[in-house]
Structure 1
Amino acid sequence: MVLCNGSSLNKKATFRVYLQEILSGPNATLYEVARANITSVSPTNFGQFLVGDDFVTTTPDPNSMRLGRTQGFVAFSDLDELAIALTFTFIFTDGPYRGSSLTIAGRKLVLGKNQEIPIIGGTGGFRLAQGYTISNLVASTPISVTFMYDFFVV
């Protein structure tokens, strides 16, 4: 997993993390903040806007080591497909990338597999980062969702 030292700049890195999203309850990490007039009748939730502050872990187990958080927002932005436009910043507070962050932004099919999202920048050891991440749904319950993110930083 460690191909980039948190203090090194502009190093290549390939690694996997898990995003733990809690959808409801007192510890929810994702909240709706706006919706369009069409959202309630749209089969694709068009116009719904959500903000999240999710946990990033080393394994799919939500109780595994926390590497940091993912903060950002999603907007359901397609009238025909269940798709979102997203911007997330992965903020690493522990592990080999502690003190660094990576920001991704792009379009993602909600139910799609191997969704490629561009890395648009970073801080710390990932300053001026480029590359992409591949996202996949790992687990889903009515209360929580776990996504796997494979990062390819160049």
Structure 2
Amino acid sequence: MERGSLVLRVALTLLTVAATPTHCSYHSHTLPNVHHEEKVTHLHFYLFDIISGDKPSAVEVARSNSTKNDSSPTPFGSVWAIDDPLREGPEATSKVIGNAQGLYVSSVQDETKLGLVMYVDFGFTEGKFKGSSFSVFSRNPVTETNRELAVVGGRGRFRMAKGFAKLKTSYLNVTNGDAIIEYKVTLIHY
């Protein structure tokens, strides 16, 4: 009987604690419905993706076991971390205006083509957009002459950006994978 009484007291105690009201508050601040006018910004720059040399701007960080004998610069399933300089022109001596940091994954199995999926933030370190960036999350069919990437966000002056980037390969070394890519970007932001 004593054991049954103990079980009953524990059950009642748990029930009482579970049913005890607690004090909490929820706060929300809603902004008035203010219409902000969209801005359109056009950017033109060159991305230098350098895989070779002593100080590459792109390095392989993972590779599928099934492609370990693939000798191409970017075998299917490989993942690359990048910190590529953005320059005003296609010359290696042109002014650096920012960098592209992120990842790309080699996503095409056909060895005659090169395709990537890119997760990259394009940040500016010079000029009127210094401290601002836009982000791309898109498929990049590298072997196509003209291609387009989706802009999915931004920060700073490009907050809530959407848009697209038109790409054209300015230089590609098929042996080592080094490339210079021309970017013409249209951003819609507030």
Report the TM-score when normalising by structure 2. 0.71
User: What secondary structure, in the 3-state scheme, does the structure 2 residue paired with 1:12 have?
Assistant: strand
Q: Which amino acid aligns with 2:115?
A: A
1:32 corresponding residue in structure 2:
60
Which of 17, 41, 44 is residue 16 of structure 1 equivalent to?
44
CA shift digits 1:92-132 (9 cap, x unpaired): 01012111001011111121122110000001100000000
- 1:105–1:119: 8 Å Cα contact kept in structure 2? yes
Q: Which has the higher contact order (CA 8 A, sep 6+)?
A: 1
- 1:18–1:149: 8 Å Cα contact kept in structure 2? yes
Query: Matches of 1:131 and 1:89 in 2, distance apart?
Result: 14
CA shift digits 1:26-51 (9 cap, x unpaired): 22111001000122356882111111
Query: Matches of 1:112 and 1:131 in 2, distance apart?
Result: 20
Query: Matches of 1:21 and 1:64 in 2, distance apart?
Result: 15
Larger Rg: 2
User: What secondary structure, in the 3-state scheme, does the structure 2 residue paired with 1:28 have?
Assistant: coil
- 1:101–1:126: 8 Å Cα contact kept in structure 2? yes
Q: Which runs of 4+ in 1 moved over 4 A?
A: 41-44
2:19 corresponding residue in structure 1:
none
Unaligned runs of 5+ in 1: 1-8
Matched-pair identity in %: 30
User: What secondary structure, in the 3-state scheme, does the structure 1 residue paired with 2:68 have?
Assistant: helix
- 1:139–1:146: 8 Å Cα contact kept in structure 2? yes
> What is the CA RMSD across the aligned residues, in angstroms?
2.0
| Structure that is richer in helix per residue | 2
